[in-house]
């Protein structure tokens, strides 16, 4: 049963156990709510029989107190097992999802956009949280309590029990058959919700460009259409569910009618006493009330399956694994006939072979789409090669745990990611346990002192979301300071100076020159002048290595590299006529 709930509702072991306890407590509370009916029956029986009610006053008061105590105890038990436990499970679920995402290869993220993943972690998890606290335990608990009460009624008088119970299984069948219809509408609503979230996120990120091109109103109109579509999908989803649920709830009303009809007939024939008839009417009225809510819960649980499937898509995704024991013999990076494709699509790399030696700068150049960035990511195991090998110090990177491997890499991207925190803490990302003195030393090596001292609070200045308070060159130098702080033996530079002005580029290059000393360095560059001092050039084109050697050797060969240098030189001499 634990495995069933784990799979069906994306629960942990502890969450599944607590879910079962929540179901038991919900069933007990439903049973406790039947005790006042029993008390009322006894009171009515005594009254009709002419018993002196005053002599039984203490009995009735005691019964009322017992009923209240049982209802309170079972209510507290249900709250603790169904509500508090669900909220703990929801927190654990979000953390587990985040941990799972941390262990997945980038190939997974290539298929899912940010809005989609955010929706899974926040919206889908929230839907499951609500279902786990307000629907699932109550649904299964009602089934258990109704089954027990139903069995008791059959022992009491099977004709009347059958008259009371018959609408319940038919009502459940009606709602069960709606599952496919519900999933259809729920999927459409979820797709519209994700599309809207993506649109809002894109609008916020691109508002500057939209305003500069007078395209803001047009984009807002498109967002309005997406909002209207989401509203339409939500109404359709609610209507599609309501048709089945309301029909099933209406069917339950016939149960009281059949109880009255069968009971009245049996009462006239003398097969049933008046008190038995009254008892069945009371029980039937109490029986259908929770079942009506249960049908709504069943419909909601059917719809929740879409959210569970989306969550399980992440939970079941294949992780990158490997040994945490990484003992390379040096830090040479070797690609040996490596091939790679994204999700079985067209090959991106084919038969790539070269060596980036420790203590040297190896530059990866070539036309856009040639595979430069992919090669660098394969070295750091952001993805895994499909054929051949990529090794660091003689160790196949596919055999090493990704986090362990990345401990040997410092990566400076073209697009720097900064956090809405202080300069000090943004640099400390490179080494979380670094002292302030170590951070300041790294900052000075990266030429950060100059602009940080001009900030209102120096290194304690909060720099805004993604460093919005800083220029591109300043943000890049913070990224380089992180690399200095980490002090890893392998450096990957991905177009680190491509978007900088001349002044900032010079300062960043000075910092980089200090950073790469005595390390294995792979540089991705489009500007040929930035790799003129490299020890080795690897030219990648159409997913393969077309040339490799020193800059001087490749210039003498007059091949692709020489042609790229010539074209860029001509471009530098261009001017507005």
Evaluate if residue 276 carries a pLDDT over 80: no
Q: Say if residue 463's pLDDT is above 70.
A: yes
Contact 297, 136 (CB under 8 A): yes
Q: Which letter, b or e, does each residue of 366-382 get, where b requires 16 or more Cβ atoms within 10 Å of its Cβ? A: beeebbbbbbbbbbbbb
Report d(CA 563, CA 23) in Å as an integer: 73
Q: What pLDDT band is residue 321 in, cutting at 50, 70 and 90? A: confident
**Stretch among 129-133, 233-237, 441-445 having the lowest mean pLDDT:** 129-133
Residue 478 has pLDDT above 70, yes or no: yes
SS3 199: helix
Instruction: Kindly report, residue by residue over 16-44, the tens digit of the pLDDT.
Output: 788 888 888 888 887 887 777 777 777 77
Rounded CA-CA distance 542/470 in Å is 37
**DSSP reduced 3-state for 326:** coil
Q: Write the pLDDT tens digit of every residue in 249-265.
A: 788 778 778 888 888 88
Residues of the chain with CATH 1.20.1560.10: 2-315
- Asked if pLDDT for residue 507 goes beyond 70, the answer is no
Distance CA 136, CA 298 (A): 8
Q: For the domain bounded by 333-571, which CATH number is listed?
A: 3.40.50.300
Give the confidence band of 139 by pLDDT, cuts at 50, 70, 90. confident
Q: What is the pLDDT of residues 75-92, one digit of tens each?
A: 888 878 777 778 888 888
- Report whether pLDDT(472) > 70: yes
- Residue 473: pLDDT band by 50, 70, 90 thresholds? confident
Q: How far is CA 422 from the centre of its chain?
A: 28
SS3 (DSSP) at 388: strand
Q: How high is the pLDDT of residue 504? A: 60
**In the structure, what pLDDT confidence band is assigned to residue 335 with cuts at 50, 70 and 90?**
very high
Residue 370 φ/ψ, nearest 5 degrees: -80, -15
The pLDDT assigned to 34 comes to 76
Q: Is the pLDDT of residue 530 over 80?
A: no
pLDDT for res 107: 66
User: What strands lie across the sheet with 544-549, from one edge to the other?
Assistant: 409-412, 490-494, 520-524, 361-365, 536-541, 544-549
Asked if residue 444 lies in contact with residue 423, where contact means CB atoms within 8 angstroms, the answer is no
- Choose the most confident range, by mean pLDDT, from 440-444, 506-510, 564-568: 440-444
Residue 292 has pLDDT above 80, yes or no: no
Query: What would the two tokens of residue 292 be?
Result: 């009506």
Give the pLDDT confidence score for residue 189 in this predicted structure. 85
Residues 150-159, mean pLDDT to the nearest whole number: 80
- Per residue in 115-137, pLDDT (tens digit) is 677 777 777 888 888 777 777 78
Lowest mean pLDDT among 152-161, 294-303, 436-445, 470-479: 294-303
Name the burial class of residue 160, with classes exposed (0-12), middle (13-18) and buried (19+) by CB atoms within 10 angstroms of its CB: buried
| The pLDDT value given to residue 81 | 78
CA 170, CA 154: separation in Å to the nearest integer?
Answer: 18
Q: Which residue has the higher pLDDT, 142 or 501?
A: 142
Q: Given this model, what pLDDT does residue 334 score?
A: 92
What's the confidence (pLDDT) of residue 571? Answer: 57
Among the four given CATH numbers 3.40.50.450, 1.20.200.10, 1.20.1560.10, 1.20.1080.10, the one describing domain 2-315: 1.20.1560.10
Residues of the chain with CATH 3.40.50.300: 333-571
Give the other-Cβ count within 10 Å of 110's Cβ. 11
pLDDT-derived band at 501 (thresholds 50, 70, 90) equals: low
> How confident is the model at residue 99, as a pLDDT?
82
Q: Which residue has the higher pLDDT, 276 or 570?
A: 276
Q: What's the pLDDT at 498?
A: 54
- The percentage of the chain sitting over the pLDDT mark of 70, rounded to a whole number, equals 92
* Residue 508 pLDDT: 66
Distance linking the first and last C-alpha atoms of the chain = 79
What mean pLDDT is predicted for residues 448-473?
84
CA distance 168 to 175: 11
pLDDT computed for residue 515 by the predictor: 73
In this prediction, residue 333 carries a pLDDT of 92
Distance CA 510, CA 444 (A): 12
The pLDDT confidence band at residue 307, using thresholds 50, 70 and 90, is confident
**Confidence tier at 470 by pLDDT (50, 70, 90):** confident
The pLDDT value recorded for residue 428 is 92
pLDDT digits 0-9 by tens, 345-371 = 677 888 889 999 988 888 888 887 778
Q: From the centroid of its chain, how far is CA 291?
A: 34
Is the predicted pLDDT of residue 343 greater than 70, yes or no? no
Looking at every residue in the chain, the average pLDDT score rounds to 81
Rounded CA gap, 180 and 344, in Å?
Answer: 32
Q: Which residues sit opposite 341 in a β-bridge?
A: 347
What value does the mean pLDDT take over residues 465-487? 82
């Amino acid at each position: 049963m634990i495995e069933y709930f784990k799979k069906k509702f994306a629960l942990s072991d502890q969450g599944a156990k607590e879910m079962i306890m929540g179901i038991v407590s919900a069933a007990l509370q439903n049973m406790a709510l039947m005790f006042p009916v029993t008390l009322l029956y006894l009171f009515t029986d005594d009254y009709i029989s002419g018993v002196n009610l005053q002599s039984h006053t203490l009995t009735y008061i005691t019964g009322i107190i017992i009923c209240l105590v049982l209802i309170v105890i079972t209510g507290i038990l249900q709250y603790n097992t169904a509500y508090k436990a669900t909220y703990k499970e929801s927190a654990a679920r979000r953390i587990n999802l985040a941990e799972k995402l941390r262990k997945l290869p980038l190939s997974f993220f290539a298929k899912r956009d940010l809005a989609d993943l955010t929706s899974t972690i926040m919206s889908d998890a929230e839907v499951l949280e609500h279902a786990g606290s307000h629907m699932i335990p109550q649904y299964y608990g009602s089934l258990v309590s109704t089954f027990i009460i139903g069995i008791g009624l059959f022992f009491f008088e099977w004709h009347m029990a059958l008259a009371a119970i018959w609408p319940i299984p038919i009502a459940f069948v009606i709602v069960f058959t709606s599952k496919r219809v519900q999933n259809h509408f729920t999927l459409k609503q979820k797709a519209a919700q994700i599309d809207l979230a993506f649109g809002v996120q894109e609008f916020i990120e691109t508002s500057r460009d939209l305003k500069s091109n007078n395209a803001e109103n047009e984009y807002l109109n498109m967002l309005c259409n997406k909002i209207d579509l989401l509203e339409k999908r939500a109404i359709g989803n609610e209507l599609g569910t309501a048709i089945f649920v309301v029909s099933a709830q209406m069917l339950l009303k016939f149960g009281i009618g059949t109880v009255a009809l069968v009971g009245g007939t049996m009462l006239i024939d003398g097969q049933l006493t008046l008190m038995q008839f009254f008892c069945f009417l009371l029980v039937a009225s109490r029986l259908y009330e929770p079942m009506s809510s249960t049908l709504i819960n069943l419909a909601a649980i059917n719809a929740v399956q879409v959210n569970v499937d989306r969550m399980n898509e992440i939970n079941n995704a294949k992780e990158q694994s490997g040994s945490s024991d990484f003992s390379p013999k040096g830090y040479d990076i070797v690609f040996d006939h490596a091939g790679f494709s994204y999700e079985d699509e067209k090959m991106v790399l084919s038969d790539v072979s070269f060596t980036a030696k420790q203590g040297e700068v190896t530059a990866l150049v070539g036309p856009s789409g040639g595979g430069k960035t992919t090669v660098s990511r394969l070295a750091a195991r952001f993805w895994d090669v499909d054929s051949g090998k990529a090794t660091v110090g003689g160790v196949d990177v596919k055999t090493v745990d990704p986090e362990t491997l990345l401990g040997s890499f410092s990566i400076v991207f073209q697009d720097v990611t900064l956090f809405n925190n202080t300069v000090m803490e943004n640099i400390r990302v490179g080494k979380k346990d670094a002292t302030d003195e170590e951070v300041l030393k790294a900052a000075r090596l990266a030429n950060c002192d100059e602009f940080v001292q001009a900030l209102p609070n120096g290194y304690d200045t909060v720099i805004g979301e993604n460093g919005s308070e800083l220029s591109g060159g300043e943000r890049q130098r913070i990224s380089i300071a992180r690399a200095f702080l980490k002090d890893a033996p392998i450096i990957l530079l991905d177009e680190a100076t491509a978007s900088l002005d001349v002044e900032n580029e010079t300062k960043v290059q000075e910092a980089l020159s200090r950073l790469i000393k005595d390390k294995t360095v792979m540089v991705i560059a489009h500007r040929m002048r930035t790799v003129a001092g490299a020890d080795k050039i690897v030219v990648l084109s159409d997913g393969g290595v077309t040339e490799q050697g020193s800059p001087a050797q490749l210039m003498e060969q007059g091949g692709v590299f020489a042609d790229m240098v010539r074209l860029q030189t001509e471009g530098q001499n261009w001017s507005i006529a």
